[in-house]
Structure 1
Amino acid sequence: MSKSPHTTEFRAKVSQEYLDGLGSYNYLSAKYNIGCKTLREWVAKYRIYGIAAFSQKAGNTSYLSDFKNMCVEAVLSGEGSVDDIVATYNISSREVLRCWIKCYNANRELKDYDPKREVYMADARRKTTIEERKEIVEYCIKHNRDLKGTASIYEVSYSQVYSWVKKYDANGEEGLSDKRGRHKTDDEVDELERLRRENLRLKRQLEEKDMVVELLKKVKEFEGM
């Protein structure tokens, strides 16, 4: 997964402010320009592990299949909510656990994940539905186009994620359809379709530009603290 833009000290500081009663979740989220759900996740982990919950680790976290199954079964049996189990077992994010649950419910084996084993050379290209591909691409783009991290979370190959994102950039959701044969180029479609594709490309460029602007704002805020 992509690294958090927030430092260990910052996350601990904000969590402690909440525990000290210096502000509600909504107040602190607005004050520091962070998501309310993200803050709740920080506080839940901080209650249990303290600042160690936010220690930066080199590379991605290793998860064994037994651990994945234990966490999923804890949620499904009512032992705790997704957020509860993420905090209790210090899982990197709720998206990771939710992905395990989806695989579990689809009767797909939850395999060991060792970050030393590069996803670039994944030995299998599992079949996916159009809905899964949309979700994977949206997650990847939302997380700074972290192709490798996305591939490891959704248990697909790096090349699959790369291909889907590239197709989405060119043709939107239509590009994610599992079609046989060659996709028509811009020169082979009518004017209306060319305009539609160009509109999609411009829209995505604007969205990415806005993301970069927001990221730069956050960086300047942190540097000024």
Structure 2
Amino acid sequence: MSKKKYSKEFKLKVLKEHEDGASFYSIEKKYDIVLGTVKRWNAAFKAHGEEALEYHNSNLCRYSAEFKQSVVSDYLSGGGSFETIAVKYGIHAESTVLKWVKLYNSHEELTDSRKIGGYLMAKDIKSRKTALEERIRIVEYCVSHSNDYSATAKEFNCSYGQVYSWANKYNQNGIDGLKDGRGRNKTSDELSELEKLRAENRLLKAEKRRQKMEIELLKKLEEIERR
């Protein structure tokens, strides 16, 4: 399901309802808004004014490595929850803060966002023909990098849409979902049972690595939250 987009005018309207006495929960239920969203709008509005209520495509936001480090350091030093840190720094999604903290705790370098327009570059890469084995490698890379479709598209020089489609087809139908379903299957899209088992094993290992990393991170974050 695609994420709903709300105008600044709509956000101001519901915040006025809250100001007049309506609870966040009742407003969210009334307008079928994801729980916690109106509370986040309210916090952002109080911290940064109406500009914070403008719709922003988070994929197009650019942040420097230094800025990311400051945000992560603030969170790890007990500066607040993901939500409050996001509001404090004018970041439009608390999940962005979580992602940076995950990277930092995994000993990965925090780098400038899309130094040369990386997201747009990934969007502009044209679709190309691929064999099944390559699609398996692409999905394996994508899974092990927390489904970063843009980075995967750039790494393998294929389109963002292809990566997104293959990752979803794999999630729904496994290795068979990555076969070329147009017309008769080509030789390059055929695997022996042994090859298929090996490919499935690689993808399962990639998923387990990702899950292990996330579990370890959550444990660290819980320890920090308890301080």
Fold conserved (TM > 0.5)? yes
What pairs up with 1:106-145 in 2 under 5 angstroms? 106-114=106-114, 117-119=117-119, 121=121, 128=141, 130=143, 132-133=145-146, 136=147
When residues 163 and 105 of structure 1 are mapped into structure 2, their CA distance, relative to the original with a 3 A threshold, is farther
Q: Distance in 2 between matches of 1:17 and 1:53?
A: 18
Is the CA contact (8 Å cut-off) linking 2:82 and 2:95 kept in structure 1?
Answer: no
Q: Aligned equivalents of 2:98 and 2:175: distance in 1?
A: 26
Q: How does 1:12-27 map to 2 (within 5 A)?
A: 12-18=12-18, 20-27=19-26
The answer on whether the counterparts of 1:44 and 1:87 sit within 8 Å (CA) in structure 2 is yes
Structure 2 residue aligned with 1:104:
104
Q: After the TM superposition, which of the residue ranges 58-67 and 21-30 deviates more from structure 2?
A: 58-67
Q: Deviations over 1:150-182 (max 9, x none)?
A: 63xxx5545485444322343426349xxxxx6
Q: 1:27 to 1:56 in 2, by over 3 A?
A: closer
Structure 2, unmatched stretches of 5+, are: 123-137, 177-187, 194-227
Structure-2 residue corresponding to 1:85: 85
Per the TM alignment, residue 33 of structure 1 is displaced from its structure 2 partner at its CA by 1.0
* Shift in Å, 1:131: 5.8
Question: C-alpha distance in 2, partners of 1:128/1:160?
Answer: 15
Tell whether the 8 Å contact from 1:60 to 1:115 is kept in structure 2 after alignment.
no
The alpha-carbon distance between structure 1 residues 129 and 162, as it changes in their structure 2 partners (threshold 3 A), is closer
Alpha-carbon RMSD: 3.8
CA distance in 2, matches of 1:98, 1:12: 27
Match of 1:31 in 2: 30
Inter-CA distance 77–164: structure 2 relative to 1 (3 Å threshold):
same
Please give the alpha-carbon distance, in whole angstroms, between the structure 2 residues aligned to 1:52 and 1:33.
Answer: 23
Distance 2:49 2:169 in 1: 45
Cα pair 1:15 1:46 within 8 Å, conserved: no
Against the structure 1 CA distance between its residues 167 and 66, is the aligned structure 2 distance closer, same or farther, given a 3 Å change threshold? same
| Separation in 2, partners of 1:81, 1:63 | 20
What TM-score do the two structures reach when normalised by structure 1?
Answer: 0.58
Q: Distance in 2 between matches of 1:49 and 1:83?
A: 14
Q: How far off is 1:111 after superposition?
A: 1.0
Letter in 2 for 1:73: S
Aligned-pair distance for 1:117?
A: 1.5
Tell me the distance in 1 between the aligned counterparts of 2:27 and 2:86: 21
Using structure 2 for the length normalisation, give the TM-score. 0.58
The equivalent residue for 1:48 is 47
What is residue 222 of structure 2 aligned with on the other side? none
Structure 1 residue runs without a partner (length 5+) = 138-149, 177-181, 190-225
- Alignment length (residue pairs): 163
